[in-house]
Amino acid sequence: MSSSTTTIPSGRWTGSPARFLHVTRPVIFPCLFIGLAILTVGVVWGLCCAPADWQQGETVRIMYLHVPMAWLASADYVLLALCGLLCMVWRHPLAGIVALEAGPLGATATALCLITGSLWGKPGWGTWWVWDARLTSMLVLFFLYIGHILIIRAFDDPVRGQRAAALLALAGVVDLPIIKFSVQWWNTLHQPDSITLTGAPTMSMSMFYPLLVCATGFTLTGIALLLIRTRTTLLERRAQSLALREPLV
């Protein structure tokens, strides 16, 4: 058998992937259905019912996509780093596969965050892009995702690719606090955070509640998509492993 064969090895691979498949099977579709239902409510609420901003007008509605994408982009990279740690230190059997499937989702969220941020910034800043600290650090995050996606698939041996990508994920964690605190550390065009863990939201509650609903809906939908992608990869590798055991005719 060549090293490029993507099978589920015996030993440390048995058990944990099987438990994952068993536990997630009844969870995925309820999570997806609830997430999409909540997201629908949040989008309709934010786009049709929430008030416009007294300064930004109707363009403020972009935040109902922009802010959840920014949250998912950072949260997904935390997951990549955690998977990298589990892969490097404990060689957890599922960590590399979860990282493999989480990377494209995080890259998509980061790209949408950058695109919607550009659309939101144009009316206020007069330009589609500025080398603002938060925008630049978010762009760096996007390149980290792209690098992770390429590296984890660059090796014939999947384990080598997972370990190499884990190093990049762990090294890139330094960008997350820069994204978070850039508006406090530097004088930037990007507005300060309206939602913090240490104080009440600075935005109107009539905007905060639909934003919270949108973020919840996007999060649950993202979790469901990650579970679907991970299960699909595991089932494909199991099928390949079973096919290799069939006797030649």
143-158 pLDDT, tens digit each? 999 999 999 999 888 8
* CB neighbour list of residue 242: distance below 8 Å, 6 or more residues apart: none
Q: What percent of the chain has pLDDT over 90?
A: 59
76: closest CA among 161, 149, 20, 126?
149
Q: Which CATH architecture has domain 12-194+204-237?
A: Up-down Bundle (1.20)
How far apart CA 87 and CA 240 sit, in angstroms, is 23
- Over the stretch 99-144, which tens digit does the pLDDT of each residue have? 999 999 999 999 999 999 999 888 878 888 888 888 999 999 999 9
Q: Which of 61-70, 112-121, 186-195, 233-242 has the lowest mean pLDDT?
A: 186-195
Instruction: Quote the pLDDT of residue 189.
Output: 66
Instruction: Quote the pLDDT of residue 9.
Output: 43
Q: What is the residue extent of each domain of the chain?
A: 12-194+204-237
* CB neighbour list of residue 155: distance below 8 Å, 6 or more residues apart: 161, 164
pLDDT surpassing 70 at residue 2: no
pLDDT surpassing 60 at residue 248: no
- Over the stretch 164-179, which tens digit does the pLDDT of each residue have? 999 999 999 999 999 9
